[in-house]
Amino acid sequence: MKSLRECIEKARADRTAIGHFNASNIETISAIFRAAKKQNTPVIIGFSEGERDFFGVRQAVAVVKSIRDEFDFPIFSNADHTYSFERVKEAIDAGFDAVIFDGTELLFEENIRVARKCVRYARASSRDVLVEGELGFIGKSSKVLDSLPVGVKIGEEFLTKPEEAERFVKETGVDLLAPAVGNIHGMLASGLEPALNIERVKAVRAAAGASLVLHGASGNTASDIQGAIKAGAAIVHINTELRVAYRKALMLSLQENPDEVAPYKYLKPAMQAVERTVEAKLKIIS
């Protein structure tokens, strides 16, 4: 079976991307896996710090690995948005296949310093752990929002600059880079998200050399997502749309079956809703 690094290389060669979907419970992981298996495409399960704490750091790794081993299927775990070296270390020690150090709220030099330390730690591991760095603030929540996240500006001058991306990758040695290219975390209630700046994706990719990761793709149009993939995004992150699908289906399930107390029965529609959402997204990106 291909490693995550090889899956990313193949996606780049094919001008497709790998889907990254977040989970904080086992039924969401199962739903994501079922959708990926149906389309026979590799998939990454992301766990933010909060999602990891809810699920259990080692448990998250163990569940994903057990599916990979049982089905001989390329499903990988990623420690999504990790804000300190200590927590990156914890994730690598626990066995995550990839980690994201998110230093977007730090000064540029400090972001470089900590990201470099994370890369060094990953390289010292006996496993091939991929490290992703981030440049440019795109907000922090995976919610439905009424307006752009606080602190996010999407004018061209606020997007990740190609020359900074080049320096960041060169000085840190990160395998993957998440730029700010008009994308935002969470999704807007209006349904009208800013367009992605595809030209900037292309320029950052050319300057940085590393494969790019598109965060916050919930709420973006299919053509924008596909444009970003053609321009250099090798991984696409979707979280909020899964959360919305899960919650809607769960509420309906509880309303329609007020006396049902078996979780494996009343949770089933939520699982199926997540599976359908992931399937639709995988058709767009892979």
Active site residues: 80
Q: Choose one: 19-27, 119-127, 213-221, 259-267; the region binding Zn ion (CB under 5 A).
A: 213-221
**In the complex, least distance from residue 120 CB atom to Zn ion, rounded to whole angstroms:** 23
* Residue 215 binds Zn ion, judged by CB under 5 A: yes
**Binding map of Zn ion across residues 85-124, x = CB under 5 A, - = no contact:** ----------------------------------------
Q: Which of 129, 116, 64 is nearest to 90 (CA)?
A: 129
- CA 241/CA 238 separation, integer angstroms: 7
Which residue, among 286, 227, 214, has the nearest Cα to 11 in the 3D structure?
Answer: 286
* Residue window 119-138: x/- pattern of binding to Zn ion, with contact defined by CB under 5 A: --------------------
Least distance between Zn ion and beta carbon 278 (Å): 17
Spatial contact of 17 and 214, defined as CB atoms under 8 Å apart: yes
Site string for Zn ion, 50-79 (x = CB under 5 A): ------------------------------
Give the chain's end-to-end CA distance (angstroms, integer).
18
Please give the residue whose beta carbon sits closest to Zn ion in the complex: 215
Report in angstroms how near the CB of residue 184 gets to Zn ion at its nearest: 10
Shortest distance (Å) from residue 242 CB to Zn ion: 13
Site stretch for Zn ion (CB under 5 A), options 15-23, 61-69, 210-218, 242-250: 210-218
Q: Which stretch binds Zn ion (CB under 5 A): 82-90, 157-165, 211-219, 247-255?
A: 211-219
Q: For 259, list phi and psi in degrees, rounded to 5.
A: -100, -5
187 or 271: whose CB is closer to Zn ion? 187
- Site mask for Zn ion (CB under 5 A), range 158-197, x = bound: ----------------------------------------
Report the distance separating Cα 134 and Cα 140, nearest Å.
12
Which stretch, 25-33, 54-62, 143-151, 209-217, contacts Zn ion (CB under 5 A)?
209-217
Least distance to Zn ion from the beta carbon of 4, Å? 17
Residues that bind Zn ion (CB under 5 A): 215
